[in-house]
């Protein structure tokens, strides 16, 4: 295992993780990646016929939208046609596609022959080929999950870390939910295509990667306070990928291939790390929940939204600010107990429902069942925090970058760093912060602040 880690750290290639296969880890689990091939680099698209051939496919169902069709769909079709593959194609006739029921249904109904009819054509399997990034990938993951078809993603932007995950983020009944789907068998990232992606998409990928600083610390925080599962090897793999992105970040402004490739590879490794852990902990923390809140408000009230990764970058800056201000305070454990005794959970639930719309109403209806608010469990967590406060603070100082250096890194690449830069009022940060702890059952900064009965003044 040590030789494997040293090899990965030296090369930084996602292929190393795949070639390792499944292996027992010191954390007590057996790790392995679900994706079979990852090819990132110049002319990666030329490898597509060979990838499909190794998957036993003789036909391809290519799915794209208006933008990704221009970026790569035509090239994908040309390469596969020249290689003798039979093709079916579906292009969403719009530039922006919502990952909702109509979109998934359209992709299913337009799949011709192959697994969609429950049988394979005599000449070989039909593979689903997603040409795009977040939404197209999510839709095709569901399609491949439903049909059992081989599945390949041709990335058109280094914009998000879901390429190698086994879930899809979709709108169901107007609510954003994660549903079980299918990890691609292979992911191809041609740097010529990736470097030509819209600037916002590249910045989104950077923001999604920078978020891993907070995610990894909060994973360790949760381990210390609640005893949840933690794997140091998986965390180290994620840190290595993150360090490579940060060291190349100054080159992103000029779209230098080395920097764009580092972001794309880091995003793929994020998905593999989540496979290793079996949870999203290596890749998401409170910064993602800021983004989820802004998305929910956008759906319910039409407030501004930006790409997920851009929002995660802003959320990372807020999280780092929060940790710096929290650890600058002296913990008062008696104050914390008084705050718990006076906490009005009904009033808190009402605020969530009012602020977040239908999704918030669902959260509010379940909030009393959350372990976070169970008095006995709260007292046990507070005891753990008091016993381990020095370790928690030392871990934060060791692993979290400063807010100021993170702001410089993001601004240097051209990314926004405050909610007001994407059209959201900065004065609403405190209320959104208190609600991040209720989005998922995950121990994060706002959970720690609640347990300590502390107050954080953002922007002061």
In a shared domain, residues 66 and 139? yes
pLDDT computed for residue 205 by the predictor: 97
Question: What is the pLDDT averaged over residues 178-190?
Answer: 91
Domain membership of residue 34 (yes or no) is: yes
DSSP string, 158-220: S--S-TT-SEEEEEETTEEEEEE----SEEEEEHHHHHTS-HHHHHHHHHHHHTHHHHHHHHH
Question: What is the pLDDT averaged over residues 200-223?
Answer: 98
Residue 173 has pLDDT above 80, yes or no: no
In a shared domain, residues 34 and 111? yes
CATH of the domain at 219: 1.20.1090
Residue 436 has pLDDT above 90, yes or no: yes
Tell me if 308 sits within 8 A of 199, measured CB to CB.
no
In a shared domain, residues 28 and 173? yes
CA distances from 228 to 149, 224, 374 (A): 36, 8, 17
In a shared domain, residues 286 and 181? no
In a shared domain, residues 168 and 26? yes
Domain membership of residue 248 (yes or no) is: no
H/E segment holding residue 152: strand 151-155
Domain membership of residue 61 (yes or no) is: yes
- Cα torsion 400, 434, 360, 222: sign: positive
Domain membership of residue 242 (yes or no) is: no
Domain membership of residue 249 (yes or no) is: no
Can you say whether residue 414 is alpha, beta or left, with left for phi > 0 and alpha for psi between -120 and 50 degrees?
left
Residue 12 has pLDDT above 80, yes or no: no
pLDDT computed for residue 113 by the predictor: 47
Residue 7 has pLDDT above 60, yes or no: no
pLDDT computed for residue 176 by the predictor: 65
Residue 155 has pLDDT above 50, yes or no: yes
Residue 10 has pLDDT above 60, yes or no: no
pLDDT in tens, 377-425: 999 999 999 999 999 999 999 999 999 999 999 999 999 999 999 999 9
Six-digit token pair at 346? 């009904």
- 326 lies in which domain range? 206-230+281-452
In a shared domain, residues 216 and 73? no
Residue 252 has pLDDT above 90, yes or no: yes
In a shared domain, residues 33 and 123? yes
> Could you identify the residue written with the tokens 């705050």?
339
Exposed/middle/buried for 384, CB within 10 Å: 0-12, 13-18, 19+?
middle
In a shared domain, residues 184 and 218? no
pLDDT computed for residue 373 by the predictor: 96
In a shared domain, residues 125 and 225? no
Residue 354 has pLDDT above 60, yes or no: yes
Least Cα distance to 64 among 193, 203, 208 occurs for: 193
> Could you identify the residue written with the tokens 């337009």?
110
In a shared domain, residues 102 and 224? no
Task: Give 127's pLDDT tier (boundaries 50, 70, 90).
Answer: very high
In a shared domain, residues 122 and 225? no
Maximum CA extent, the chain: 73
Phi, psi of 299 (to 5 degrees): -65, -40
Tell me if 149 sits within 8 A of 126, measured CB to CB.
yes
Domain membership of residue 270 (yes or no) is: no
Task: Give 359's pLDDT tier (boundaries 50, 70, 90).
Answer: confident
The partner residues of 59 in beta bridges, in order of sequence, read: 86, 126
The rounded distance, in Å, linking the Cα atoms of 165 and 352 is 29
Six-digit token pair at 329? 């305070």
Q: Would you tell me the crossing angle of helices 212-226 and 199-210 to the nearest 10 degrees?
A: 30
pLDDT computed for residue 174 by the predictor: 60
> Could you identify the residue written with the tokens 């593999």?
272
Residue 236 gets which letter from DSSP? Answer: H
pTM score of the predicted model: 0.91
Residue 157 gets which letter from DSSP? Answer: -
Q: How far separated are the first and last CA of the chain, in Å rounded? A: 47
Residue 121 has pLDDT above 70, yes or no: no
The rounded distance, in Å, linking the Cα atoms of 152 and 13 is 19
Question: What is the pLDDT averaged over residues 438-459?
Answer: 95
Q: Average pLDDT, whole number, for the chain?
A: 91
The partner residues of 60 in beta bridges, in order of sequence, read: 87, 127
pLDDT in tens, 315-353: 999 999 999 999 999 999 999 999 999 999 999 999 999
CATH of the domain at 35: 3.40.50.1970
Residue 305 has pLDDT above 50, yes or no: yes
Provide, rounded to the nearest whole percent, the portion of the chain with pLDDT above 90.
Answer: 80
The rounded distance, in Å, linking the Cα atoms of 134 and 97 is 10
Residue 444 gets which letter from DSSP? Answer: -
In the sheet where 86-92 sits, what is the strand order? 37-41, 186-190, 151-155, 125-132, 57-65, 86-92
pLDDT computed for residue 40 by the predictor: 93
Task: Give 286's pLDDT tier (boundaries 50, 70, 90).
Answer: very high
pLDDT in tens, 288-300: 999 999 999 998 9
Domain membership of residue 6 (yes or no) is: no
Half-sphere exposure in the Cβ direction for 118 (13 Å, CA): 0
In a shared domain, residues 300 and 422? yes
Least Cα distance to 348 among 446, 458, 218, 457 occurs for: 446
Domain membership of residue 417 (yes or no) is: yes
Least Cα distance to 446 among 326, 292, 296 occurs for: 326
pLDDT in tens, 50-105: 999 999 999 999 999 999 999 999 999 999 999 999 999 999 987 778 778 888 88
pLDDT computed for residue 162 by the predictor: 86
């Amino acid at each position: 295992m040590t030789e494997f880690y040293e090899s990965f750290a030296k090369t930084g290639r996602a292929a190393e993780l795949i070639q390792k296969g499944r292996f027992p880890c010191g954390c007590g689990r057996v790790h392995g990646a679900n994706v079979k091939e990852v090819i990132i680099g110049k002319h990666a698209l030329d490898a597509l016929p060979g990838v499909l051939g190794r998957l036993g496919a003789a036909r391809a169902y290519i799915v794209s939208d208006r933008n990704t069709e221009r970026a790569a769909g035509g090239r994908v079709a040309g390469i596969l046609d020249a290689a003798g593959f039979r093709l079916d194609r579906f292009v969403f006739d719009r530039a922006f596609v919502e990952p909702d029921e109509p979109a998934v249904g359209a992709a299913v109904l337009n799949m011709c022959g192959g697994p969609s009819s429950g049988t394979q054509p005599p000449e070989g399997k039909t593979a689903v080929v997603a040409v795009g990034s977040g939404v197209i990938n999510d839709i095709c993951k569901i399609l491949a999950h439903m049909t059992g078809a081989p599945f390949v993603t041709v990335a058109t932007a280094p914009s998000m870390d879901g390429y190698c995950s086994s879930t899809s983020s979709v709108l169901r009944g107007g609510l954003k939910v994660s549903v079980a789907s299918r990890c691609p068998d292979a992911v191809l990232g041609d740097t010529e295509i990736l470097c030509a992606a819209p600037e916002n998409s590249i910045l989104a990928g950077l923001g999604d990667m920078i978020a891993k600083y907070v995610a990894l610390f909060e994973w360790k925080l949760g381990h210390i306070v609640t005893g949840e599962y933690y794997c140091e090897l998986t965390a180290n793999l994620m840190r290595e990928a993150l360090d490579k992105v940060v060291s190349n970040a100054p080159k992103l402004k000029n779209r230098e291939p080395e920097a764009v490739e580092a972001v794309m590879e880091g995003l793929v490794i994020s998905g593999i790390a989540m496979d290793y852990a079996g949870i999203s902990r290596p890749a998401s923390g409170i910064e993602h929940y800021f983004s989820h809140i802004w998305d929910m408000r956008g759906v319910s009230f039409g407030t501004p939204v930006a790409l997920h990764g851009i929002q995660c970058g802003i959320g990372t800056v807020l999280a780092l600010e929060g940790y710096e201000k929290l650890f600058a305070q002296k913990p008062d454990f008696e104050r914390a107990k008084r705050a718990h005794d006076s906490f009005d959970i009904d009033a808190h639930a009402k605020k969530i429902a009012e602020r977040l719309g239908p999704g918030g109403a669902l959260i509010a209806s379940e909030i009393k069942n959350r372990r976070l608010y169970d008095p006995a469990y709260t007292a046990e967590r507070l005891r753990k925090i008091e016993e381990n406060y020095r370790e928690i603070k030392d871990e934060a100082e060791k692993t979290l970058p400063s807010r100021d250096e993170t702001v410089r890194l993001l601004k240097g690449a051209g990314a926004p760093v405050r909610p007001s830069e994407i059209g959201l009022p900065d004065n609403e940060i405190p209320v959104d912060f208190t609600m991040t702890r209720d989005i998922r059952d995950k121990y994060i900064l706002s959970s720690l602040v609640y347990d300590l009965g502390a107050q954080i003044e953002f922007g002061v």
